[in-house]
């Protein structure tokens, strides 16, 4: 074993959140799952922790991350926070089914939170049972690696553990599971909202100081470090939602308690990647007001940032916060256009690029285009008949595509790179596959029958969604018709 890698029992815990006052959290031991067993393990995430994948035994992973035992140095706790859920402030939130097991400091000086989701009841569970079901756990385990593969900031997962425990969800009994989530930051917008609305302004400053020291140390020398922190969070959030929009991702539960201070995709629930382009797509059956529809995500993220700004008023002048919030649309649009230029193979900036993009969105909407397959096929565009056939096969009205392709040809003529360079650059940002709902559903159905091989297979493919891998062909085709009937809710 390499000297820099460790066994599970040798992980270097260095817990800092436990230094906060007692009301910031509830110390809580995990409630063990019955007969836990390892379903899947992510060696790439293990390396972030200096954990030797070859030394991580399935039995030990199930023992520790099924809640039966505590790793040396672990100090599990449930965080207290609040937040706005579907537009309404809820003061009773907190870690209701997850525990922060501790913080691992690796040899690079990076601090990683280990958070066990599905660890049982806490003081913040309200009426819940504190468990996560296999269905939602598989979805979070897969999507976190899928998003990382696409280059979209996200929490990740080290392991997925199953058990023979069952709980009731939506009128039926389902098997329990647990996911070990790994990220540098579990602080949410809702942490600051809790301290603001409960008038704990000294604690608010304490948390902000902690966040700046841990996550944004370069801002400590700013004239107003708190203002600089808000600006950084705003920029990261604008960039994040731009990436969601460019790849057709619908988060579906964009409450402020699901917003990460680091601008990562956080707390996966009834997410979807669009099979066909629909600005009005609502991925969450519980969202009957369509608050979190695909096209509304940028505005909702800005609204959530306004909630964070409100919570930071004791530390930052109102005028500064209002001016920063007004910057958001421009930051978002610039980030979106930059990424879409890359997806279109455009390396230079031209004035008409926004118009070209908006016309493409209009085409996508009218034709209900599968944008993932469209951009992948566009990567092979060379104006020859063979390269055009697959593109036209994705469009029900060929003339609509012909009009846009004429504009695209003209725009490509303004580029300096070669056709081969453009193709390589486009293939590096236009994935061959994404985690579609039907793919997750197939893996879930197999898992319910005791077959976990589809989970492992998908993890391998989603880790590098741009590569052409033998056996991935069926995932690159149009989704089956039954996929349209998949219904997702907050328990998904």
Q: What are the residue numbers of the active site?
A: 257
How many H helices and E strands in the chain? 15, 12
Q: Following DSSP, what letter does each residue of 159-195 receive, concatenated?
A: EEEEEEEEEEETTEEEEEEEEEEEES---BHHHHHHH
Non-local (6+) Cβ contacts of 53 within 8 A are 41, 43, 46, 47
Question: 82, 87, 79, 37: which is closest to 62 by C-alpha?
Answer: 37
Question: 286, 271, 34: which is closest to 167 by C-alpha?
Answer: 34
E-only strand ranges, 290-383: none
Buried b (16+ CB within 10 A) or exposed e, 279-303: eebbbbebbeeebbbbebbbebbbb
Q: Give the max Cα distance, the chain.
A: 68
Question: 467, 433, 232: which is closest to 331 by C-alpha?
Answer: 232
Beta bridge partners of 173: 168
Residue 157, H or E segment: strand 156-169
CA distance 209 to 28: 25
Q: Is 171 exposed, middle or buried (0-12, 13-18, 19+ CB in 10 A)?
A: exposed
């Amino acid at each position: 074993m390499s000297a820099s890698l460790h066994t599970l029992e040798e992980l270097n815990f260095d817990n800092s959140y436990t230094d906060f006052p007692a009301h910031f959290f509830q110390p809580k031991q995990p409630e063990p799952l019955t007969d836990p067993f390892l379903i899947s393990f992510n060696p790439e995430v293990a390396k972030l922790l200096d954990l030797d994948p070859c030394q991580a035994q399935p039995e030990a992973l199930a023992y520790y991350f099924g809640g039966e035992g505590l790793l040396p140095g672990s100090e599990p706790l449930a965080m207290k926070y609040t937040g706005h859920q579907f537009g309404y402030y809820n003061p009773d939130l907190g870690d209701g089914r997850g525990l922060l097991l501790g913080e691992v400091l690796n040899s690079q000086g990076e601090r990683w939170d280990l958070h066990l989701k599905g660890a049982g009841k806490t003081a913040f569970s309200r009426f819940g049972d504190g468990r996560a079901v296999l269905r939602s756990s598989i979805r979070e385990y897969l999507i976190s690696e899928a998003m990382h593969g696409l280059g979209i900031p996200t929490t990740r997962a080290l392991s997925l553990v199953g058990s023979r425990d069952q709980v009731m969800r939506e009128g039926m009994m389902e098997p329990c599971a647990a996911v070990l989530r790994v990220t540098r930051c579990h602080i949410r917008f809702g942490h600051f909202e809790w301290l603001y609305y409960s008038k704990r302004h000294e604690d608010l400053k304490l948390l902000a100081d902690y966040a700046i020291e841990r996550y944004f140390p370069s801002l400590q020398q700013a004239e107003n470090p708190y203002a600089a922190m808000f600006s950084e969070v705003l920029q990261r959030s604008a960039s994040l939602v731009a990436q969601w929009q460019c790849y057709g991702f619908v988060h579906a539960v964009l409450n402020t308690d699901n917003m990460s201070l680091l601008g990562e995709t956080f707390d996966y629930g009834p997410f979807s990647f669009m099979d066909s382009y629909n600005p009005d797509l609502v991925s969450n059956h519980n969202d009957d007001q369509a608050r979190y529809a695909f096209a509304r995500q940028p505005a909702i993220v800005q609204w959530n940032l306004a909630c964070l700004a409100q919570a930071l008023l004791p530390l930052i002048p109102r005028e500064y916060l209002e001016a920063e919030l007004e910057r958001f649309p421009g930051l978002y649009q610039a980030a979106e256009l930059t990424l879409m230029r890359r997806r279109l193979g455009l390396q230079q900036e031209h004035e008409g690029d926004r118009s070209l993009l908006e016309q493409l969105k209009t085409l996508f909407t009218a034709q209900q285009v599968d944008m993932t397959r469209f951009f992948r096929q566009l990567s092979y565009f060379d104006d020859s008949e063979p390269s055009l056939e697959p593109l036209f096969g994705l469009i029900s009205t060929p003339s609509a595509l012909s009009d846009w392709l004429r504009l695209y040809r003209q725009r490509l003529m303004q580029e300096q790179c070669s056709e081969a360079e453009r193709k390589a650059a486009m293939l590096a940002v236009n994935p061959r596959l994404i985690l579609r709902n039907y793919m997750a559903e197939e893996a879930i159905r197999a898992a319910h029958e005791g077959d976990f091989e589809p989970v492992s297979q998908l993890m391998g493919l989603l880790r590098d969604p741009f590569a052409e891998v033998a056996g991935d062909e069926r995932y690159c085709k149009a989704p089956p018709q039954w996929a349209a009937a998949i219904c997702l809710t907050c328990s998904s």
